[in-house]
Structure 1
Amino acid sequence: MLKNFIATLVLTLLLLPQLVHAQKAAAQPSVTTMEETGLWFGAYLKFQFSERLGYYGEHHWRVRNDLDDVWSFYGRKRQMYNRFGLNIFFNEYFEGVIGPTLVMNFTPETGNEEFEKVTYEPRIWHQWLLKMPAMGRFKFYHQFRFEHRWKRKNDVGEEHDYTNRYRYKLFAYIPLNSKKIKEKTLYFSPSAEIFMHSGESIGANPMEDFRTYNGLGYVLNNNVTFFVGHMYTLGQKSSGYEYKSSHIFRFNVFIGMDFRKSGDLLPKINLGY
């Protein structure tokens, strides 16, 4: 209880200046613009080496709509995204990850000399995952992720900007053709996630993003799972009263290995990532 109170207090103090700025913009009528569509392809790796330790990795290739057609979904490179981490298993219902991230951000306009072709964004991240006991076919997760980022726009001469990001996701997975997740299971996974951020450059826009991500997965075997879904995002611009939205289709493969023994173990993959 005390730890939860301290964590809430620290987060409130970090975000308080941004919330004050946001109130000043509250009198303005909100405006939402659909700015992007895209395709994201991801590979998720989760290897367990001992009772307590494992490796976690994410590797993403992201493309976005053509500059002249917001509904084209592809036409420009967006990001190459690589996240690595030490996975720590505390017990059956609680685990954490900590490690580095490297993001490559590609130019928003190919051939425009005002933009660098690619910029590099290093991060340090840590995550805490709470797994709830199954409720019939339903199984719920609470994910808390924190990222410390050195962001840099593609504008030539732009400097790195340090910000912190705070993420909370609630998600579930629901088997459709069996009572529990096993080989050959088709499942549905809904999720909702809120992104907050803070830093010197963050003023009236403390809410960086809100995402809903829903899709279908298929467990091929004990080590491989496929997932395809649609993600809608809503993000706050620097003005505080303007918002941008996007529609993204995501295609993922989850690869999990348990090296502790050679038995028939389903991979401990977070199906909702």
Structure 2
Amino acid sequence: MEETGMWFGAYLKVRFSERFGYYGEHHWRVRNDIDDVWSFYGRPRQLYNRAGLNIFFNDYFEAVIGPTLVLNFTPEPGNEEFDKISYEPRIWHQWLLKMPTMYNMKIYHQFRFEHRWKRDNSVGSEHDYTDRFRYKIFAYIPLNSKEIKEKTLFFSPSAEIFMHSGESIVANPMEDFRTYNGFGYVLNNNITFFVGHMYTLGQKSSGYEYKASHILRFNVFIGLDTRKIKDLLPRINLGY
């Protein structure tokens, strides 16, 4: 193990119409102190912002496309050989396939593609273009009811593999493998809370060395449907 940390995330999904909506992810990520790998919370790691146009094809398939901006903080605070912040722009698109509910369990297949202009925090380093390909399978399993609804406590297991390519990627095509498992609580139709543990295993540039990490994640999911606003507004008689 080389790293521990915490990720705090806010996920926003807004439905504009039958076909279109907005999707956003915003993460504040911190990692262990340099001298204590088990501290989890010691120094900033990333500020992560992803946004996109959500396209709904039917009840079982949707897609997203949009920009991402990642702010990477220095790996060694106070070391002048590193910039305090480096900027990493991306373009991303995603396919989400929902399977019919089986035994009260919802299963999802997520395919995500990212086109990244990365640079490390070394002073004077240049951006390096890479492509990343991700596949994730995850499930929602209700624990105190027969379906996911208000006041439902649920368990969600997941596994995801990351592959990447580019001129700088030679012996390490597998960037990461993650398992992320946790518990969620549906407060109401608009807000869901989730807390979990993520284990990651990534291939280093040598190809035969690996790095691992343990991350604690705390998320809130916010879902809004503007199509229903008209039902919430009082009627106004403009005839007078």
TM normalised by structure 2 equals 0.95
Q: Which amino acid aligns with 1:245?
A: A
Q: Which amino acid aligns with 1:45?
A: L
- What whole-Å deviation, never above 9, does each CA across 1:62-99 have from its counterpart, x for those lacking one? 00000011111011100000000000000000000000
- Confirm or deny that 1:102 pairs with 2:69: yes
Provide the C-alpha distance between the structure 2 equivalents of 1:262 and 1:113, rounded to a whole number of angstroms.
52
**Paired residues for 1:233-272 under 5 Å:** 233-262=200-229
Q: Secondary structure at the match of 1:260?
A: helix
Choose between structure 1 and 2: higher strand proportion: 2
- What whole-Å deviation, never above 9, does each CA across 1:85-119 have from its counterpart, x for those lacking one? 00000000000000000000000111000000000
- Confirm or deny that 1:53 pairs with 2:2: no
Which residue is equivalent to 2:238? none
Choose between structure 1 and 2: higher helix proportion: 1
Q: Which amino acid aligns with 2:166?
A: G
* CA displacement at 1:262 relative to structure 2: 4.9
Q: What RMSD over aligned residues (CA atoms) do the two structures have, in Å? A: 1.0
Which residue is equivalent to 1:153? 120
Which residue is equivalent to 2:87? 120
* CA displacement at 1:221 relative to structure 2: 0.6
Q: Secondary structure at the match of 2:228?
A: coil
Provide the C-alpha distance between the structure 2 equivalents of 1:262 and 1:237, rounded to a whole number of angstroms.
50
Which residue is equivalent to 1:139? 106
Provide the C-alpha distance between the structure 2 equivalents of 1:139 and 1:39, rounded to a whole number of angstroms.
27
- Confirm or deny that 1:38 pairs with 2:40: no
* CA displacement at 1:136 relative to structure 2: 1.6
- What whole-Å deviation, never above 9, does each CA across 1:118-173 have from its counterpart, x for those lacking one? 00000000000000000021110000000000001000010000000000000000
- Confirm or deny that 1:79 pairs with 2:46: yes
Q: Secondary structure at the match of 1:261?
A: helix
Share of identical aligned residues, percent?
84
Which residue is equivalent to 2:149? 182
* CA displacement at 1:261 relative to structure 2: 2.2
- Confirm or deny that 1:171 pairs with 2:138: yes
Provide the C-alpha distance between the structure 1 equivalents of 2:98 and 2:189, rounded to a whole number of angstroms.
20
Aligned length in residues: 231
* CA displacement at 1:206 relative to structure 2: 0.1
Which residue is equivalent to 1:208? 175
Q: Structure 1: which 4+ aligned runs deviate by more than 3 Å?
A: none
TM normalised by structure 1 equals 0.84
Provide the C-alpha distance between the structure 2 equivalents of 1:135 and 1:222, rounded to a whole number of angstroms.
22
Provide the C-alpha distance between the structure 1 equivalents of 2:155 and 2:225, rounded to a whole number of angstroms.
24
Which has the bigger relative contact order, CA under 8 A and spacing at least 6?
1
Unmatched 5+ residue regions in structure 1? 1-33, 265-273
Q: Which amino acid aligns with 2:133?
A: Y
